[in-house]
């Protein structure tokens, strides 16, 4: 029995994407726009429902995971806070960060409101931020903010599956700053190693999450499959193309098994995270699209079968 609808809600509005800056190595600030444009001209277009009904985050939201001096300094454009993420600051970029974080919050809420529909936040720039500053193209700890808001509003606990090519430190670095983070995020699965070792560690982590899901101690799953874990990425390289796609299959097959056992869909929200290909930036988008297609094929029974 299929528990998921063959459509996805994508939480995007134009304010999510920042104007391009030639000074940025990372093109992540423009990736939400480029990914949504790619989706709408791909075979996934018929399964895509754009959602603009979400608000930007405000100062109090960012203070959940960050010191006031950093939050205020960043939005004022003051060094060193405005430079700590390694990206060129501008008022437009600062405003876009309110919306990328708002998109992630909205996706997690929507997944829990309507578990049968996968929710997508086409965003990145979260998992290296710390309470005192940004780092490595990441400005604010969106994962922490979104999950803590869900916990405080609804008493829910989530599991994050972070398959970006770089270790996501923001959740671990925030545990001493956010008093109820342990209750909001039970697991942050971030495999190490590469190739067969990476896949084996992913399988082991999924087994641990599955135990918590079936015990109803984890109420939703958030999955970010960064394209920089692909071996041809400029900054990553753990997996071949087939291994990268197999990672997607392992995650979605596990979620399908848990849903079948529970007799109900496990709420699922997706985000993009990293991906850097100066020679072929569209390959990053195609990888993200192939991941989403595997999710729909596995959970909904579609036959998209996209290749990157």
* Letter string b/e over residues 94-103, b meaning 16 or more CB atoms within 10 A of that residue's CB: bebbbbbbbb
The domain 8-300 is placed in CATH, from the list 3.40.640.10, 3.40.50.300, 2.40.50.140, 3.40.800.20, at: 3.40.800.20
Q: What is the CA radius of gyration of the chain?
A: 18
pLDDT computed for residue 160 by the predictor: 98
pLDDT of 166 above 80: no
Q: At what angle do helices 281-300 and 241-262 cross, to 10 degrees?
A: 30
**185 vs 29, residue with greater confidence:** 185
In contact, 8 and 47? CB cutoff 8 Å: yes
256 half-sphere exposure, CB direction, 13 A CA radius: 17
pLDDT in tens, 10-26: 999 999 987 765 555 44
**54 vs 88, residue with greater confidence:** 54
pLDDT of 83 above 60: yes
pLDDT computed for residue 263 by the predictor: 98
**147 vs 231, residue with greater confidence:** 147
Residues in contact with 221: Cβ distance below 8 Å, sequence separation at least 6, in sequence order: 158, 159, 160, 161, 209, 213, 255, 266, 267, 268, 269
pLDDT grade for 28, boundaries at 50, 70 and 90: low
The pair phi, psi for residue 11, each rounded to 5°, is -90, 95
pLDDT in tens, 102-157: 999 999 999 999 999 999 999 998 988 999 999 888 999 999 999 999 999 999 99
pLDDT computed for residue 66 by the predictor: 98
pLDDT computed for residue 237 by the predictor: 81
pLDDT computed for residue 95 by the predictor: 96
The pair phi, psi for residue 287, each rounded to 5°, is -65, -50
For the chain, the average pLDDT equals 93
* Stated length of the chain: 308
Question: Under DSSP, is residue 56 helix (H, G, I), strand (E, B) or coil?
Answer: coil
Environment class of 279 (CB within 10 Å of its CB; exposed 0-12, middle 13-18, buried 19+): exposed
The angle at the Cα of 135, spanning 133 to 138, to the nearest 5 degrees, equals 95
Q: At what angle do helices 195-214 and 241-262 cross, to 10 degrees?
A: 10
Share of the chain above pLDDT 70, in %: 96
pLDDT in tens, 191-220: 999 999 999 999 999 999 999 999 999 999
Q: What is the DSSP letter of 266?
A: P
- What is d(CA 103, CA 99) in angstroms, rounded to the nearest whole number? 6
pLDDT computed for residue 150 by the predictor: 99
Nearest to 292 by CA among 304, 275, 280: 304
Q: Beta-carbon neighbour count of residue 200 at 10 Å?
A: 12
Mean pLDDT across the stretch 89-109?
Answer: 96
Domain spans of the chain?
8-300
pLDDT computed for residue 116 by the predictor: 99
């Amino acid at each position: 029995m299929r528990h998921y609808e063959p459509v996805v809600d994508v939480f995007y509005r134009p304010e999510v994407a920042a104007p391009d800056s030639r000074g940025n190595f990372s093109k992540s600030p423009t990736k939400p726009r480029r990914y949504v444009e790619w989706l709408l001209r791909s075979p996934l277009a018929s399964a895509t429902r754009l959602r603009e009904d979400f608000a930007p985050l405000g100062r109090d939201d960012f203070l959940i995971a960050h010191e006031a001096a950093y939050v205020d300094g960043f939005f004022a454009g003051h060094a060193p806070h405005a430079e700590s993420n390694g990206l060129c600051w501008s008022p437009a970029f600062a405003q876009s960060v309110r919306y990328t974080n708002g998109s992630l919050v909205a996706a997690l809420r929507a997944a829990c409101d309507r578990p049968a529909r996968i929710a997508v936040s086409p965003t990145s720039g979260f998992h290296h931020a710390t309470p005192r500053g940004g780092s490595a193209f990441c400005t604010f700890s969106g994962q922490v903010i979104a999950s803590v808001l869900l916990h405080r509003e609804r008493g829910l606990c989530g599991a994050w599956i972070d398959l970006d090519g770089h270790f996501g430190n923001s959740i671990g670095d925030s545990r001493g700053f956010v008093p109820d983070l342990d209750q909001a995020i039970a697991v942050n699965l971030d495999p190490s190693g590469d190739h067969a070792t990476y896949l084996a560690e992913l399988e082991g982590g999924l087994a641990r999450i599955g135990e918590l899901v079936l015990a109803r101690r984890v109420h939703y799953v958030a999955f970010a499959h960064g394209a920089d874990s692909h071996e041809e990425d400029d900054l990553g390289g753990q997996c071949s193309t087939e291994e990268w796609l197999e990672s997607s299959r392992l995650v979605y097959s596990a979620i399908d098994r848990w849903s079948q056992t529970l007799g109900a869909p496990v709420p699922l929200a997706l985000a993009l995270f990293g991906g850097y290909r100066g020679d072929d930036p569209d390959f990053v988008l195609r990888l993200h699209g192939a991941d989403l297609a595997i999710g729909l094929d596995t959970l909904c029974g579609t036959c998209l079968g996209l290749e990157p």
